Every structure is written in C-alpha cells, then in structure tokens.
Homo-oligomer: A and B are copies of this chain.
C-alpha cells in the first residue's frame, strides 16, 4: 500500500483508516475551539496528522507559527485546489504566517518545461483565486521556487539549505520513499524539503512550529524533510507538523486531473458550464431505476454531488445531514441531489466571478511589488 501512494501516482480508491496505520499518522484528539468552526476539520475531511499538538498549543497560546503549502501551476484552479486555499485562509486568520511556494522548478523537472507559462498560470489561476477566496496577500509569503526573494541573502539561504540537506540523505532512502528516482526528481525533493523547512532559518522566522497541510500522497516528502531536518546540525529545526486531507473525488468518481476538464469544476467555469458538467458527468450514488432508488435508497458516500456539498458547498451540518439521510432513505432522488449541488455551485461561481474582478488590481500590485 505504501509503495502505491507516492507523490507521482494516486490510486483512486483509498482506505484512509488502513493508510493511517501504515503511514503512522495519528487521529486528532481535542483541538482548540477554533478548529471546530472549520468544516474540513469538523467533518474529518482533514483526517490525520503528525505532531499537530505543537500547532494546537501555538494557536491556544497565541504563539507565532507558520503554515506552509505549495501549488503546482498546471491547468485550471478547481474545487480540489479550493480546499487547500481554504486551509491557507483558515490558518492565516488563526494568526499563522502563511508561506506559499509555486513549485515551478518541480513542474519544470517533471513535465512542463516552460517557465513563462508556469509563471502566468501561477498568477492568473492560483494567486487570483486565492485572493478572491479571501487570502490576505499582505500577510503571506508567496514565492516561486525559481525566484525566492528580491533579498539575495534570503534567496541564497533558501537554496543553500536544499543543497546542504543533500548531505543528510542517501540514495537508498530516496529509492525506498519514491521508488524510481531521477536527478530531476531528487533536486525537486530537496528543494521541496527546503520549502517546508526554510521558514525556520535565521534569515526568515527562526525556529518555530510549522504546519504543512497535505493530501496523503504528499507524505513521502514530509517524511523525508522530517528525517533530514533532525540530522542537519546548527539550525535547530523544530520538527515539522503536518495534516492529511482526503482527496476530493473527481466529477466522474475517479481522480481529479488537471488535464481532463470533465473531471473537475474550475472556479472560472461559468454557472452554465458547471451545471452541464454536473448533469452530464457527476458520478451518481443512485440506483438504476426510480423504483429501486425509492425502495433501497442511494449511496451518498460515493455520490459526487453529495461529496461536493460535503467538501465545499454546504457549510451547515444539519442541512448536509438531512440531505445525506434523505438520499440514503430514497426520499431524495439523484436528479434532485444534482439540482441542489448545481444551484449551490452556480451561486458560488457567480459571486466568485465578481470577487475575481475585484482582486485583479491588488494582485497586479502585489506581483509588481514582489518583482516576479
């Protein structure tokens, strides 16, 4: 099982319970009240962690901490990405300094050798949507792996950490964690470890708790960064914390894929496009006939429309619960469930489009200030 969940390949059906045991992830105990207000935590979509207690403590005691995450600038910004953005915004409101890396070097080394295109996608798709969703650009450190900072001492420290980490890992470890490994992948992994750790360098925040929220496919990167961080001397890195969220299913029930627009709804899709996609592609948990559905009920756990409500669109637990039960009991039909989802999506996309328009100028200003 472990060998199948690598950052390069995600099987479409995952037994999260089994995975927690095999990866050695912990489930959440009692968390500070603020976490209960977050839908993803409350609904256990964020289902496991490593060393999260020091983040909970920092939040409780209002001590400084960092949230670090990244994006791979390929294709459209969709609801899967939105789930990550919601976590950025949540932690930012909790007081975290938010570090966001554009993994353009990793993208270059793995599949997209056009740095200009990567830059445009990162800004036009990701940064624009982050801002529209409510990320405060003034309170985050958004950067490109290929261009860390206008400050050369900061930039040098970030890259040199990646290069120095290379001393503290063996090829056999890379192979054990990733399976097949090429020089490009190895360079990307080291850089990604620095993405996670460099906030603690003296040129940045200094040693402090850092939480990295990821999908479980990213855990190999975490394990490697955690191991190396404790071997390298002189920096006194506090061990990384991480949380693991479930994958939002693709429209057709499998994996969301940036290269297949019928597998996701983009936040820049028009309400009409989105409705069409839901009606045409969204995998249904309903029965083959109306009669059978009324009698045996549907399966909301595999129904993509329901999952979209659960992951993103229905913040009210009671309402979500009612939909769940009605569908399971056969009172709610698949077409009706799709209708609910479609309306929610349409309302969201319409409002989001306006927010995108409002974000254009501040994003442009931010990009100019940062010198990207």
Q: Which residues does A use to contact B, with CB under 8 Å?
A: 105, 108-109, 113, 115, 144-157, 159-160, 162-164, 166-167, 169-171, 174, 181-184, 186-188, 190-191, 233-234, 371
Residues of B within 8 Å of A115, CB to CB, are 234
Tell me the bound Cα distance from A166 to B187 in angstroms.
7
Contact call A166/B183, Cβ cutoff below 8 A: yes
Residues of B within 8 Å of A187, CB to CB, are 162-163, 166, 187, 190
Q: How near does chain B come to A110, taking the closest CB pair, in angstroms?
A: 8
Tell me the bound Cα distance from A174 to B182 in angstroms.
11
Tell me the bound Cα distance from A148 to B163 in angstroms.
13
Tell me the bound Cα distance from A180 to B233 in angstroms.
25
Tell me the bound Cα distance from A151 to B155 in angstroms.
9
Tell me the bound Cα distance from A180 to B169 in angstroms.
15
Q: Which of A145, A160, A164, A233 has the most CB of B within 10 A?
A: A160
Residues of B within 8 Å of A146, CB to CB, are 156, 160, 163-164
Given contacts A108-B167, A166-B109, A184-B167, A149 and B160 within 8 Å (CB-CB): no
Tell me the bound Cα distance from A166 to B183 in angstroms.
5
Contact call B113/A233, Cβ cutoff below 8 A: yes
Tell me the bound Cα distance from A108 to B184 in angstroms.
22
Candidates B159, B186, B233, B371; contact of A166 at CB < 8 Å: B186
Contact call A182/B190, Cβ cutoff below 8 A: no
- Closest residue to A191 on the B side, CB-wise? B163
Residues of B within 8 Å of A170, CB to CB, are 182-183
Residues of B within 8 Å of A145, CB to CB, are 160, 163
Contact call B160/A152, Cβ cutoff below 8 A: no
Q: How near does chain B come to A132, taking the closest CB pair, in angstroms?
A: 28
Tell me the bound Cα distance from A149 to B115 in angstroms.
22
- Closest residue to A185 on the B side, CB-wise? B166
Candidates B155, B162, B164, B174; contact of A152 at CB < 8 Å: B155
Q: How near does chain B come to A99, taking the closest CB pair, in angstroms?
A: 16
Tell me the bound Cα distance from A184 to B109 in angstroms.
19
Contacts beyond the supplied A155-B155, A163-B188, A166-B182: 16 A-B pairs with Cβ under 8 Å: A109-B163, A147-B160, A148-B155, A149-B156, A150-B152, A151-B152, A153-B371, A159-B159, A166-B186, A166-B187, A167-B183, A167-B184, A170-B182, A170-B183, A186-B186, A187-B190
Tell me the bound Cα distance from A181 to B183 in angstroms.
11
Contact call A182/B171, Cβ cutoff below 8 A: yes
Contact call A108/B174, Cβ cutoff below 8 A: no
Tell me the bound Cα distance from A144 to B186 in angstroms.
23
Residues of B within 8 Å of A191, CB to CB, are 163
Residues of B within 8 Å of A183, CB to CB, are 166-167, 169-171, 174, 186, 190
Tell me the bound Cα distance from A275 to B234 in angstroms.
42
Candidates B152, B162, B169, B190; contact of A148 at CB < 8 Å: B152
Tell me the bound Cα distance from A54 to B311 in angstroms.
62
Tell me the bound Cα distance from A153 to B372 in angstroms.
9
- A sample of 25 cross-chain residue pairs with beta-carbon separation below 8 angstroms, ordered by A number, consists of A105-B160, A105-B163, A109-B167, A113-B167, A115-B234, A144-B156, A145-B163, A146-B160, A146-B164, A147-B156, A147-B160, A148-B156, A150-B153, A152-B154, A152-B155, A155-B156, A156-B159, A159-B163, A162-B187, A163-B191, A166-B183, A166-B184, A166-B188, A183-B186, A186-B186
